[in-house]
């Protein structure tokens, strides 16, 4: 049985927070909203509870979790030898969607870090997440609250659809704000390395640091990461059940993408008699309407507001399965700012990538 606890996102109901804290203190697992996506939490120092997180998500044991804290004193309980560069980012960007890779405090179970001697830590900005960690006085280890490989959950309904009966409770506080996960920076390396693009654009983080951040191919979603470097990045990720085709272009000329999407969708709809879903932007959607009765078009948001596309991304990927399309085709965006984050998720989610 999974209990659903409802609260207002801005002024968390103290009774709800207390009930969730009680479940966690008794060794249970609770899904809760953060400003990025919903997380599935367990007390970081309780190995049995942490192992329930892996079980509930069907997550491979070498894919580490992010530790969520609510104060700087908690940081010292989970990490050691914190470099000055880390504090420079912490001062400006915490609480918020920035995760830092730091040296593991020996008291953090290796189960949490997938066997690594580093930890991933962040201080979330969502009032519900902060209240819960404060109430506990103990950091929470939490990956996204979805079955491994599926799109991350941005509502409690998404969590329920994936994890009903597999977790003790979910706190429902409505939709999350950014809709994509935190940006992960390995601040121990020189220069710092982007492990995963996220809700904070890497360009903004570079400005605060005053140095360039290395962006490996795996952070762009082009290759899989070296296991020893970032175990989490090597698995199938963010995928709807509907096979997804990503059409991307390095040219800023959108007509290349539009023509390829049109051609592909007509081929599947008319020649192969498939139900096709096209995921387009507000700027391009009119190009695909009325092409065929077998083509359904969805709007993911404006190319001039990548925050909007990021926020709609996982909900749109999940909706493809509800529409029971045979195949989905999605347009790529430019890899700048949040565009890097969106393209990382889409490249990992896609079954087939086409460059035009």
Residues binding ligand AMP (CB under 6 A):
63-64, 66, 101, 113, 116, 118-120, 143-144, 181, 184, 195-196, 230, 232-233
Rule CB under 5 A: is residue 99 a binding residue for Mg ion? Answer: no
SS3 135: helix
Angle between the 127-136 and 14-25 helix axes, to the nearest 10 degrees?
50
Q: Binding partner of residue 240 among Mg ion, ligand AMP, none, CB under 5 to 8 Å per kind?
A: none
Angle between the 202-209 and 84-93 helix axes, to the nearest 10 degrees?
120
Q: Binding partner of residue 41 among Mg ion, ligand AMP, none, CB under 5 to 8 Å per kind?
A: none
Shortest distance (Å) from residue 190 CB to ligand AMP: 16
**For residues 52 and 42, is the Cβ–Cβ distance under 8 A?**
yes
Cis check: omega of the bond before 16, within 30 degrees of 0:
no
**For residues 26 and 40, is the Cβ–Cβ distance under 8 A?**
no
Nearest to 179 by CA among 68, 306, 297, 64: 306
Q: Binding partner of residue 116 among Mg ion, ligand AMP, none, CB under 5 to 8 Å per kind?
A: ligand AMP
**Beta-carbon count within 10 A of 214 CB:** 13
**Closer residue to ligand AMP, CB minimum distance, 143 or 179:** 143
C-alpha distances (whole Å) from 180 to each of 22, 63, 186, 270, 308 are 28, 18, 19, 35, 11
Shortest distance (Å) from residue 298 CB to ligand AMP: 24
| Cα atoms in the 13 Å half-sphere on the side-chain side of 282 | 9
Shortest distance (Å) from residue 103 CB to Mg ion: 23
Shortest distance (Å) from residue 177 CB to Mg ion: 17
Contacts of 275 (CB under 8 A, 6+ apart): 269, 294, 296, 324, 325, 326, 327
Shortest distance (Å) from residue 113 CB to ligand AMP: 5
**Closer residue to ligand AMP, CB minimum distance, 218 or 288:** 218
Number of residues that bind Mg ion (CB under 5 A): 1
Alpha helices in 250-355 (DSSP H): 254-266, 306-322, 338-349
Q: 30-33 and 244-248: which strand pairing?
A: unpaired
What distance lies between CA 163 and its chain's CA centroid? Answer: 17
Shortest distance (Å) from residue 203 CB to ligand AMP: 21
Binding to Mg ion, residues 134-153 (CB under 5 A): 144
Shortest distance (Å) from residue 110 CB to ligand AMP: 11
Residue number with the smallest Cβ distance to Mg ion = 144
**Beta-carbon count within 10 A of 9 CB:** 17
**Closer residue to Mg ion, CB minimum distance, 121 or 329:** 121
Shortest distance (Å) from residue 102 CB to ligand AMP: 8
Q: Binding partner of residue 36 among ligand AMP, Mg ion, none, CB under 5 to 8 Å per kind?
A: none
**Closer residue to ligand AMP, CB minimum distance, 202 or 260:** 202
Q: Binding partner of residue 239 among ligand AMP, Mg ion, none, CB under 5 to 8 Å per kind?
A: none
Q: Binding partner of residue 118 among Mg ion, ligand AMP, none, CB under 5 to 8 Å per kind?
A: ligand AMP
**Closer residue to Mg ion, CB minimum distance, 104 or 348:** 348
**Closer residue to ligand AMP, CB minimum distance, 35 or 331:** 35
Q: Which residues contact Mg ion (rule: CB under 5 A)?
A: 144
């Amino acid at each position: 049985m999974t209990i659903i606890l409802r609260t207002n996102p801005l002024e968390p109901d103290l009774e709800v927070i207390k009930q969730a804290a009680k479940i966690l203190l008794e060794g249970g697992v609770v899904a809760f909203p953060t400003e990025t996506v919903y997380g599935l939490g367990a007390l970081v120092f309780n190995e049995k509870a942490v192992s329930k997180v892996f079980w509930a998500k069907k997550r491979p044991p070498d894919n580490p979790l992010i530790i969520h804290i609510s104060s700087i004193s908690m940081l010292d309980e989970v990490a050691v030898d914190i470099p000055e560069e880390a504090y420079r980012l912490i001062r400006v960007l915490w609480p918020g969607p920035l995760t830092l890779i730091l040296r593991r405090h020996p008291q953090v179970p290796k189960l949490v870090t997938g066997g690594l001697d580093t930890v991933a830590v962040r201080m979330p900005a969502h009032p519900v997440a902060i209240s819960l960690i404060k109430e506990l006085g103990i950091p929470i280890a939490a990956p996204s609250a979805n079955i491994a490989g599926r799109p991350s959950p941005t509502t409690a309904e998404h969590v329920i659809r994936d994890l009903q009966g597999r977790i003790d409770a979910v706190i429902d506080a409505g939709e999350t704000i950014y809709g994509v996960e935190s940006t992960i920076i390995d601040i121990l390396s020189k220069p710092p390395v982007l492990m995963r693009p996220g809700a904070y654009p890497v360009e903004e983080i570079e400005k605060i640091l005053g140095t360039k951040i290395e962006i490996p191919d795996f952070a762009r979603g082009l290759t899989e990461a070296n296991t020893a470097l970032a175990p989490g990045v090597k698995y199938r990720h963010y995928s709807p059940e509907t096979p997804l085709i990503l059409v991307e272009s390095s040219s800023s000329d959108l007509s290349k993408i539009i023509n390829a999407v049109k051609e592909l969708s007509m081929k599947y709809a008319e020649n192969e008699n498939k139900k096709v879903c096209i995921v387009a932007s507000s700027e391009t959607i009119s190009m695909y309407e009325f092409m065929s009765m077998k083509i359904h078009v969805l709007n993911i948001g404006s190319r001039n507001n990548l925050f909007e596309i990021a926020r709609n991304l996982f909900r749109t990927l999940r909706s493809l399965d509800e529409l029971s399309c045979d195949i989905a085709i999605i347009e790529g965006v430019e890899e700048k700012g949040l565009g890097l984050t969106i393209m990382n998720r889409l490249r990992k989610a896609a079954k087939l990538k086409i460059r035009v």
